[in-house]
Amino acid sequence: MAVETTDSAVEHPAVTTEGRRLLTELVSIPSVSGNETEAAEALAAFLEQNGRETYIDDIGNVHAPGDDTVLLTSHIDTVPGDIPVEIKEGEEGPELWGRGSVDATGPLAAMAVAAVETGASFVGVVGEESTSRGAWHLIENREAPEAVINGEPSGWDGITLGYRGLLEGTYVATSESGHTSRPDPNAIQHAMSWWNRVEDTFEPDEWIPVFEQVTTKPVDIEGGVSVDGLSMDATMEFQLRVPPERTPEEVRELSDAELETGTVNWTEFIPAVMTSPRTEVARLFRVAIRKQGGDPRLLRKTGTADMNIYAEEWGCPILSYGPGDSNLDHTPHEHLSLAEFDHSVDVLIEVCEQLGVEQPDDHTSDETTESKS
């Protein structure tokens, strides 16, 4: 395998393999959602240099068609945040610090290496941290594989079987402007009142795991007197996380029932996913983790991922896997143990080989034809 870069972190003595080199290079390239081009090109170059037919589609996803017994896929983009890229000595050896090292450049690089070694199909998708536009584009432009391994941090000895679903929306209210001494509620108060009722509807229960509850979160709010001075406006964007026991439609109806003033525009409906630990893919992961000396952990995550979309649309065996502590996602402390990265690569290769993945002879694929750029 070969990949070229001159970044100082890549020249660190701990970067002893081409997989670690790819990981460090990709973490060194800023790839916030909407600005993934440079990282996508570096990823494509790695795949091409290692003999894989590779192309970038018209939305920015990086494809390396191969054996569709399993599709290895993770996301290229990260959330914003400038964390200096450097390798520090940790309790268990060298650690790579930098935005995306955990979520999800670590899993992405591990899957790219495993794809090169085994011949498995691979796609690096864009936009997971925003609208999942890469995942939606993927399912619209290729046939379902036999199985999917979605790259997200689970720890090298963990596999993620479930994610909660997601409802997103925007609440908007308008009221006449007036003196603040008046008792009549204004648009901002209407927004606050509706949201308080929604929170009461899904009040947290400390005796029930978070994964099994609906949780509510406002993510942006704006309000005040309009430009012409004649009205008061309020706009609030929010998210509701939905457990497998409830449907997005049910949660939406309960939220709408609390609406007395204003309107809600629902913009995202992604169902929860919970897969069986008894699938052949899950079994092979447990075997591979034990072979590396680990004790397999089965995880459920309170967030939402591209896995939800693939499970809903393709209906094939699926789980999420990748190196890294998900508690570090999106934090200023994001870093990844290089030894953990190595373990995850070995686990992925073992699983692909046990599934019967073969190196492609003629670079053919079940993928439909897409425009290449």
Flag whether pLDDT at 334 surpasses 60: yes
Q: Tell me, yes or no, if 353 is annotated catalytic.
A: no
Q: What is the pLDDT of residues 119-147, one digit of tens each?
A: 999 999 999 999 999 999 999 999 999 99
Instruction: Identify whether residues 13 and 104 lie together within a single domain.
Output: yes
CB-based contact 151:76 (threshold 8 Å): no
Among candidate residues 270, 295, 320, the one where a domain is terminated: 270
129 is in an annotated binding site: yes
Dist. CA 168–CA 271, nearest whole Å: 12
Flag whether pLDDT at 339 surpasses 90: yes
> Which pLDDT score, from 0 to 100, does residue 1 have?
47
Amino acid type, 287 = V
Q: 370 lies in a domain? A: no
258 is in an annotated binding site: no
> Which pLDDT score, from 0 to 100, does residue 181 have?
66
Q: Quote the pTM value.
A: 0.89
Average pLDDT, the chain: 92
For tokens 């790259």, name the residue.
151
CB-based contact 147:245 (threshold 8 Å): no
Q: 43 lies in a domain? A: yes
Q: Give 363 or 189, the one with higher predicted confidence.
A: 189
For 91, 112, 134, 305, the CA distances from 327, given in Å and listed in that order, are 17, 24, 24, 15
Q: 237 lies in a domain? A: yes
Residues in the chain: 373
206 is in an annotated binding site: no
Dist. CA 191–CA 233, nearest whole Å: 10
- Across the range 65-83, mean pLDDT stands at 97
Q: 101 lies in a domain? A: yes
- Across the range 79-100, mean pLDDT stands at 94
Stated as kind and residue range, the H or E segment containing 219 is: strand 215-225
Q: Tell me, yes or no, if 77 is annotated catalytic.
A: yes
> Which pLDDT score, from 0 to 100, does residue 10 have?
87
Flag whether pLDDT at 3 surpasses 80: no
CATH of the domain at 170: 3.30.70.360
Dist. CA 100–CA 111, nearest whole Å: 15
Percent of the chain at pLDDT exceeding 90 = 86
- Is 220 buried (19+), middle (13-18) or exposed (0-12) by CB count in 10 A? exposed
Q: 291 lies in a domain? A: yes
Catalytic residue among 67, 68, 77, 95: 77
Q: What is the pLDDT of residues 270-282, one digit of tens each?
A: 999 999 999 999 9
Flag whether pLDDT at 76 surpasses 90: yes
Phi-psi region of 363 (alpha: psi -120 to 50; beta: other; left: phi over 0): left
> Which pLDDT score, from 0 to 100, does residue 7 have?
53
Secondary structure tally for the chain: helices H, strands E: 9, 16
> Which tokens in the block code for residue 290?
């034990």
Catalytic residue among 36, 95, 117, 128: 128
Dist. CA 359–CA 361, nearest whole Å: 6
**Total of domains in the chain:** 2
> Which pLDDT score, from 0 to 100, does residue 360 have?
74
Q: 369 lies in a domain? A: no
Q: What is the pLDDT of residues 207-241, one digit of tens each?
A: 999 999 999 999 999 998 887 777 889 999 999 99
203 is in an annotated binding site: no
CB-based contact 232:188 (threshold 8 Å): yes
152 is in an annotated binding site: yes
> Which pLDDT score, from 0 to 100, does residue 365 have?
42
> Which pLDDT score, from 0 to 100, does residue 178 have?
67
CATH of the domain at 89: 3.40.630.10
> Which tokens in the block code for residue 263?
């309107």
Percent of the chain at pLDDT exceeding 70 = 94
Q: What is the pLDDT of residues 241-272, one digit of tens each?
A: 999 999 999 999 999 999 999 999 999 899 99
Dist. CA 178–CA 289, nearest whole Å: 65
